[in-house]
């Protein structure tokens, strides 16, 4: 696979063209920094629990940070529409270049929100197709209806987008993502929230993301209500197609 990826290497596009490999050394001033760090910690625990040699696809992996990190222990492959390298294959999530039932686990981390609404069920269907019957999809998505956003809706009549429409054209409340997953044939195994967005405190944390990371962790531990959280991490397994 590595040789094929090297032959097909192309210049990065999208945010990677303008920001470089920004996931490798994330800026401590990035307002998403504490949530990104917490998400990676969760995913690393998940991958650490897998048996040696498990076949894993990181779909929409960007620079392939986790692919490189776990390449020695897992049979892990990375695919991204905007990036390619020795560890990452260029390709679309809506037409995955893999045979049916190829993987024990699929990761899809902070990816679905970057897809158009019409492409989201296609991508989920493709990930279900390449999963083995006893496999599992681990997906993380920002939740358009987090707590601060809900309160803003009550006061101003609109939700707070998790990013601009250009960056997150497929922004949805977590409930809509879950219903999409069920419609294409997934069942929820478990769900966890990161960063309940309490008003005032959320703004305070985002002003100094790295320095106030301790409060971010404390909130997540004390108020672990997924529907109130900015990010949801969901474990899904293949089930019946609705």
Give the CATH number, domain containing residue 156.
Answer: 3.40.50.150
Per-residue tokens: 135: 């496999």
Residue 59 has pLDDT above 80, yes or no: yes
Mean pLDDT score, 144-153 = 97
* DSSP H helices in 8-117: 15-19, 33-48, 65-70
Which pLDDT does position 53 carry in this prediction? 97
Query: How would DSSP label each residue in the chain?
Result: -HHHHHHT-----THHHHH-STTTS--TT-TTHHHHHHHHHHHHHHHHTSPTT-EEEEET-TTTHHHHHHTTTSEEEEEESS---SSEEE--TTS-SS-TT-EEEEEEES-GGGS-TTHHHHHHHHHHHHEEEEEEEEEEEE-TT-HHHHHHHHHHSSPPPSS-TTT-TT---HHHHHHHHHHTTEEEEEEEEEEE--TTHHHHHHHSTTTTHHHHHHHHHH---GGGEEEEEEEEEE----
Residues 204-242: tens digit of each pLDDT: 999 999 999 999 999 999 999 999 999 999 999 999 776
Residue 57 has pLDDT above 60, yes or no: yes
Residue 93 has pLDDT above 70, yes or no: yes
Which pLDDT does position 155 carry in this prediction? 95
Percent residues over pLDDT 70 in the chain: 92
Q: Which position has the higher pLDDT, 5 or 15? A: 15
**C-alpha to C-alpha distance for 5 and 82, rounded to whole angstroms:** 13
Which pLDDT does position 5 carry in this prediction? 42
Mean pLDDT score, 135-152 = 98
Out of 17-21, 25-29, 71-75, pick the least confident.
Answer: 17-21
Under 8 Å CB-to-CB from 57, ≥6 apart: which residues? 76, 77, 78, 79, 96, 98, 102, 103, 105, 106, 107, 127, 130
Which pLDDT does position 20 carry in this prediction? 63
Tallying the residues shown for the chain, one arrives at 242
Structural domain of 184 = 2-238
Q: Which position has the higher pLDDT, 5 or 198? A: 198
**pLDDT category of residue 7 using cuts at 50, 70 and 90:** very low
Residue 9 has pLDDT above 80, yes or no: no
Please tell me the pTM assigned to this model.
Answer: 0.91
**pLDDT category of residue 25 using cuts at 50, 70 and 90:** confident
**pLDDT category of residue 16 using cuts at 50, 70 and 90:** low
Mean pLDDT score, 135-155 = 97
- Structural domain count, the chain: 1
Q: Where are the beta strands (DSSP E) in 143-201?
A: 186-196
CB-based contact 113:177 (threshold 8 Å): no
Which pLDDT does position 23 carry in this prediction? 79
Mean pLDDT across the chain: 92
């Amino acid at each position: 696979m590595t040789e094929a990826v090297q032959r097909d290497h192309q210049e990065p596009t999208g945010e990677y063209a303008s920001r470089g490999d920004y996931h490798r050394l994330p800026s401590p001033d990035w307002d998403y920094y504490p949530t990104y760090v917490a998400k990676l910690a969760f995913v690393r625990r998940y991958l650490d629990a897998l048996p040696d040699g498990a076949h894993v696809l990181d779909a929409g992996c960007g620079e392939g940070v986790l692919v490189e990190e776990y390449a020695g222990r897992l049979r892990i492959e990375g695919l991204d529409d905007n990036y390619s390298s020795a560890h990452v294959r260029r390709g679309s999530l809506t037409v995955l270049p893999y045979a049916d039932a190829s993987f024990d686990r699929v990761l899809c981390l902070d990816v679905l929100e970057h897809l158009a609404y019409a492409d989201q069920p296609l991508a989920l269907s493709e990930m279900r197709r390449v999963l083995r019957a006893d496999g599992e999809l681990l997906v993380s998505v920002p939740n358009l209806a987090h707590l601060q956003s809900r309160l803003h809706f009550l006061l101003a009549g609109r939700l707070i987008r998790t990013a601009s429409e250009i960056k997150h054209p497929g922004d949805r409340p977590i409930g809509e993502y879950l219903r999409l997953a069920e419609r294409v044939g997934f069942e929820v195994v478990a769900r966890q929230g990161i960063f309940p967005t309490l008003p005032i405190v959320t703004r305070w944390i985002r002003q100094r993301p790295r320095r106030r990371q301790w409060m971010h962790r404390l909130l997540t531990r004390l108020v672990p209500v997924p529907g109130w959280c900015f990010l949801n991490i969901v474990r899904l397994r293949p089930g019946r197609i609705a």
